[in-house]
Amino acid sequence: KMKHIIMDVDTGHDDAVAIALAGGLNDEIIIDGFIATAGNQIREYTLENTLNLTEALEMEAPVFAGSIGPLLRDRVLAGNIHGANGFEGPVFEKRKKKECMGNGIRWAIDHVLSHPGEITFVSVGPWTDLAVCLKSDERFASSLKEIVLMGGAVDHPGNVTPSAEFNVFADPEAAEIVFDSGVPITFFPLDVTLKLLLTQEVLDKVKKLPESRYKNIFLASMGFYVPSLLKAHGEMPAMHDPCTIAYLYDPSIFKYSYRPISVETKGDKTYGKTIGGKEDKNSTTKMAVDVDTDKFWALFFKAVKNLV
Ligand code: BDR
Ligand code: CA
């Protein structure tokens, strides 16, 4: 029943909720290690944010450094959404936790190869690290249990360009490698994540909770993220990245469609678009299309209660 995961993150605000969710659901989810990649901000900052958050939440999983940028394209960041350090809002004490020495990608390959069929790779930033793993050793793909991703926009407009979502737009060539890998993939595109918005009701409920390790971090981070999203997109923030962890714990929270997915890597206006073929039960790619928001928030509060 225990699920071992590698969590590849570009720790900004919704990544942080995903990390906390995994930390609070440790009766079933075991994080074997984090890899921090460039994405919402430069890798130096996403690494710092991941170390700060995991130390504050007393999560002991090692944190490794991942890629400093995408495979081919120029680096794009999301400081306009997540702020100057990529996780504006919470203030952390000077940390003691240190990053693990050595390259996170090398570690992930060795870890997966030494536990064939057991490890799920969860990627909630640009998928560069995962693509490099897949391209570095042909045994990596067949040794993985599953890939779980946040990214893409299939039958929905993008959030960076009219057709592309941030994580895929930030490294379309990596996304193409991942979708072409043949590994069973479950992914959470904007089609579903934008149905899962934070609400004032949830914020009020968190405010009424007893003090806990996570409560103040969550409220401080949403104190920045809510106005940032209202300004940028005119709506409350979506819980994009936490969908991946909620799925691993309780897949019945979502509805799915099996479809082949390809990525536009040539188009000028459509660069980074995820293109969905028609439904095909034999496809190894499973796309989440709907979410039971009540079930999700119930799971969130269960996790928060465990982070006392
Ligand atoms: C994705 O982009 C990032 O800003 C979020 O953390 C999420 O992973 C949403 O498009
Ligand atoms: Ca992210």
Residue 233: what pLDDT? 92
Residue 159 Cβ contacting ligand 1 at under 6 Å = yes
**10 flagged as catalytic:** yes
Ligand 1, atom 10, residue with closest C-alpha: 166
Residue 266: what pLDDT? 96
The answer to whether the pTM exceeds 0.75 is: yes
Q: With 90 as the cut, is the pLDDT of residue 79 above it?
A: no
Q: With 90 as the cut, is the pLDDT of residue 216 above it?
A: yes
**Ligand 1 atom showing the smallest separation from residue 150 Cα:** 8
CA of 79 to the centre of ligand 2 (A): 12
Residue 308: what pLDDT? 83
| Secondary structure of the chain as H, E, C letters | CCEEEEEEECCCHHHHHHHHHHHHCCCCEEEEEEEECCCCCCHHHHHHHHHHHHHHCCCCCCEEECCCCCCCCCCCCCHHHHCCCCCCCCCCCCCCCCCCCCEHHHHHHHHHHCCCCCEEEEECCCCHHHHHHHHHCHHHHHHCCEEEEECCCCCCCCCCCCCECHHHHCCHHHHHHHHCCCCCEEEECHHHHCCCECCHHHHHHHHCCCCCCCHHHHHHHHHHHHHHHHHHHCCCCECCCHHHHHHHHCHHHEEEEECCEEECCCCCCCCCEEEECCCCCCCCEEEEEEECHHHHHHHHHHHHHHCC
What pLDDT band is residue 214 in, cutting at 50, 70 and 90? very high
CA of 10 to the centre of ligand 2 (A): 5
What pLDDT band is residue 1 in, cutting at 50, 70 and 90? confident
Q: With 90 as the cut, is the pLDDT of residue 215 above it?
A: yes
